[in-house]
Amino acid sequence: MLTSHQSSPQDSSVALLGSADSGVHSGIGRHPQLADARHADASHTHADAPTTGGHVLVVGTPGPRVDRLTQTLRSTGHEVSHAPPGQVNQQVQQATPDAVVALDEHGAHGPHPSRAPGDQRAGLDLIRASLSEVQVFDSGEFSRLTEANNNPGATFRPLGWLPQVGSALYLGFTPPQQQPAGGIFPQEMNFRVFLPIGSLAGQAVRCRDLQLAPAPPVTLVWEYRPKADPTRWRRLNVYKDDSIAFTREGYVSVQGPAEITATKEGKGEDPLYWIRVRLTSGVYPAGRAPVIDFIRPNTVEAESLSTARDELVGESEGIPDQTFTLRNKPVQRDSLELLVTEQNQQPEQWERHDDFLSSDRDSKHFKLNPVTGEISFGDGLRGLIPPAGSEIMARLYRYGGGKAGNVPSGAINALMTPVFGVDGVKNERPSTGGRDEQDVEELKQQAPGSLRSQNRAVSVDDYAAIAKQVGEVAKARALPLAHPDHPGVEVPGAITVVVVPDADIADPKPEPSADLLGRICRYLDERRLLTTEFFVRGPNYQSIKVEARIAAQPYAAFDDVERRVIAAINEYLDPLGRKLIKQNANVADLGQSTANGGAQKERGWKIGDNLFPTNLIGVIQRVQDVIFVRSFSLTVNGKLHDRLNEAVEVPPDGLVYGASDHEITVEPFTEQ
């Protein structure tokens, strides 16, 4: 999510998303300190720099090994997975009060009239006043929560501790010094509710509820004070509430007030434009009063993609099976608009198909390999051949993506191109979902499952294999007959998919975000059997703490030995097999590919694998300067595991990780 701030130079940039025709496209910006990477011909791009979250993403053509491996997959309709983009929710704030700013479906910006209410993914009209005051009215009293809302991580209850009829959230906007033409508020306001990070940790999400949103437990009414009668509140229409009355993370689209007056409310000291969210009926379940991290106006979704326009792909020679290659790759499959212009004729748009099996000699179809950017035409029997001399033009396509688009909070801080009336942007949550193009080893591991499932979730293994296709998913395991509401009971038709996201080493036990769980649900829902009820959740983490006394070489630096031992333990226990430090000691091969209960052939641990304590003793003894382990004990989730010759039983949805408080005592080795 992006928040506006200081003005930004053109070469340090972030574009904003739009979506309608071309989908959401620009959105992730650059780190200001990184060099600008510009296209050789700016006329072919929508933005000056690739939007990969501050990194230049270079995706090469798959080498011969990949080509040989993919020949069989291609014959069955499978391709190497392209690099999906990072996604972020961003907020924009206007700096020039007299400019009417709207972000259209192609990410263009500028002064033009506000649009009528519509799909927020098609653009954004800005509220031209800053949210400066947040208050909550509950049990007859006002509480000022502006500071909590302004500081992510503080969290607060938007309707109080015991929400009841009359409880309300007050959002106060500072009036601009000059009243802008066209009004302060657009015809449709866009807010996003953010839940606390980790609020879904360990909780299962019922995917059916994401597809068919349940009825909210309470009725909330959005209101404002009209200029005609400042003593009364007037209702605003709510077009969309993905937050389900503040119980979920999502967007809320509300009618903008036409004539609003500034008043003093609650503990406010200055007159502000107030938007009130009032509970009028219903009750939240006991102990389920909503808690949010913050709420932001002027928020919109974006992806780490760039847009190319009017790129001349080539000229047809009129022969069968012609191929052409786009200048940029990987390409977002559904974004390509391809025009074929015969001599002395008007351009005509051709259709993309996955294959030519349903094409005849007159079908104006083409195929696209999104990884390589290769465009293929038919042979005259299956698919029309573009006539000789025809100009082939890519009118528009989006490209980019990859793990480089996953940037931390605050890394996006500037506009990609200057926008009149907009000062800057900021993401208060990390962008997620980006994943690099498949490599050879990943393709080899996933090929059997891909061929078996045929992109349909039928067996339990299919659910896990398909879940791994979603960007940012590092590991997945499907548990048959597992229903989170009935633990230990086999429920026919129920499947729970446990997923682990890819994450930085700073996060010792990666948890899937609400956005990631939603993407997995939507992806699986399109491929599942109708009779299956499935859930998605993060793993049940098992904290492993080691206490050990170690004999080391007398000449060794004992503090350094302790540090390397702890690093070796945590690297061995890391769920994703990540490295904490560069190995300047003999810590290589920490046993993560050992059989008999150790971490598996894939990096890190498999979900549900048991841990053998003796393997950890071996890990310690392989650290440089360690002679032997004098004593060793293991604690699992705070409970002593006293039988070191027996495995630590990990539940089917469990995953081990190293605790942060290992107690390692290093002593000099002395011969007895």
Answer whether residue 89 shows pLDDT above 60: yes
The DSSP secondary-structure symbol of 263 reads B
Most confident of 108-117, 341-350, 431-440: 341-350
Q: pLDDT tens-digit profile of 161-201?
A: 999 999 999 999 999 887 777 778 999 999 999 998 877 66
pTM exceeding 0.75: no
Query: Around 322, how many Cα atoms within 13 Å sit in the side-chain half-sphere?
Result: 22
Distance CA 449, CA 81 (A): 14
List all residues 6 or more positions away from 199 whose beta carbon is below 8 Å from its beta carbon. 291, 514
Q: pLDDT tens-digit profile of 303-347?
A: 778 889 999 999 999 999 999 999 998 898 889 999 999 988 999
Domain 129-294 - what CATH class? mainly beta
Looking at per-residue pLDDT, the higher value among 201 and 264 belongs to: 264
Answer whether residue 476 shows pLDDT above 70: yes
Per domain, the residue ranges of the chain are 1-126+298-304+402-434, 129-294, 305-400, 455-537, 540-668
For residue 376, list its beta bridge partners. Answer: 323, 367
Residue 277 burial (C-beta neighbours within 10 Å; 0-12, 13-18, 19+): buried
Q: Write down the residue that tokens 């003999």 correspond to.
A: 586
Answer whether residue 581 shows pLDDT above 70: no
pLDDT at 97: 43
pLDDT at 78: 53
Looking at per-residue pLDDT, the higher value among 159 and 268 belongs to: 159
Counting residues of the chain whose pLDDT is more than 90, the rounded percentage is: 47
pLDDT band at 18 (very low <50, low <70, confident <90, very high): very low
Most confident of 90-94, 201-205, 277-281: 277-281
Nearest one of 646, 53, 55 to 406, comparing CA atoms: 53
455-537 folds as GMP Synthetase; Chain A, domain 3 (3.30.300)
pLDDT band at 443 (very low <50, low <70, confident <90, very high): low
Distance CA 567, CA 580 (A): 6
pLDDT at 594: 36
The DSSP secondary-structure symbol of 45 reads B
Answer whether residue 205 shows pLDDT above 70: yes
Counting residues of the chain whose pLDDT is more than 70, the rounded percentage is: 73
Other beta carbons less than 10 A from residue 446's beta carbon: 18
pLDDT at 76: 53
For the chain, give percent helix, strand, coil, nearest 5.
Answer: 15, 30, 55
220 alpha-carbon distance from chain centroid: 28
Return the beta strands (E) in 516-658 as ranges.
533-537, 540-552, 626-636, 639-641, 654-658
pLDDT band at 601 (very low <50, low <70, confident <90, very high): very low
pLDDT at 517: 87
Q: pLDDT tens-digit profile of 121-172?
A: 346 788 888 999 999 999 899 999 999 999 998 999 999 999 999 999 999 9
Average pLDDT for 618-631: 94
Answer whether residue 463 shows pLDDT above 60: yes
Q: Provide the 3-class DSSP secondary structure of residue 78.
A: coil
Our CA dihedral for 93, 95, 96, 97, rounded to 10 degrees, sits at 60
pLDDT at 405: 75
Return the beta strands (E) in 229-386 as ranges.
234-236, 238-241, 250-255, 273-282, 294-297, 299-303, 305-315, 323-325, 337-341, 348-352, 365-369, 374-377
Looking at per-residue pLDDT, the higher value among 333 and 495 belongs to: 495
Distance CA 299, CA 254 (A): 13
Q: Which helix (H) or strand (E) holds 193?
A: strand 188-194
pLDDT at 72: 59
Q: pLDDT tens-digit profile of 507-523?
A: 888 888 888 888 899 88
Phi-psi region of 444 (alpha: psi -120 to 50; beta: other; left: phi over 0): alpha
Distances in Å between the Cα of 341 and the Cα atoms of 104, 316, 338, 386 are 28, 10, 10, 9
562 alpha-carbon distance from chain centroid: 37
pLDDT at 423: 73
List all residues 6 or more positions away from 416 whose beta carbon is below 8 Å from its beta carbon. 13, 14, 15, 26, 29, 30, 47, 48, 49, 51
pLDDT at 110: 33
Q: Which helix (H) or strand (E) holds 399?
A: strand 391-400
Looking at per-residue pLDDT, the higher value among 595 and 297 belongs to: 297
Q: Write down the residue that tokens 């999400």 correspond to.
A: 205
pLDDT at 80: 56
Q: For the chain, what is the radius of gyration of the CA atoms?
A: 28
For residue 463, list its beta bridge partners. Answer: none
Answer whether residue 575 shows pLDDT above 70: yes
- Assigned token pair, 408: 């931390």
Answer whether residue 33 shows pLDDT above 50: no
Nearest one of 312, 360, 411, 330 to 59, comparing CA atoms: 330
Amino acid in position 207: C
Q: Write down the residue that tokens 């309470």 correspond to.
A: 218
Answer whether residue 25 shows pLDDT above 60: no
Looking at per-residue pLDDT, the higher value among 654 and 34 belongs to: 654
Q: pLDDT tens-digit profile of 526-540?
A: 888 888 888 999 999
Distance CA 546, CA 663 (A): 6
Answer whether residue 400 shows pLDDT above 70: yes
The DSSP secondary-structure symbol of 385 reads P
Distance CA 520, CA 532 (A): 15
Distances in Å between the Cα of 163 and the Cα atoms of 169, 242, 425, 450, 609 are 11, 20, 34, 49, 43
Answer whether residue 40 shows pLDDT above 50: no
Cβ contact 303:28 at 8 Å: yes
DSSP 132-165: EEEEEEETTEEEE-HHHHHSTTS-B-TT-SS--T
330 upstream amide cis, omega within 30 of 0? yes
Rounded to 10°, the helix 460-467/440-453 angle is: 140
Distance CA 220, CA 277 (A): 6
List all residues 6 or more positions away from 42 whose beta carbon is below 8 Å from its beta carbon. 48
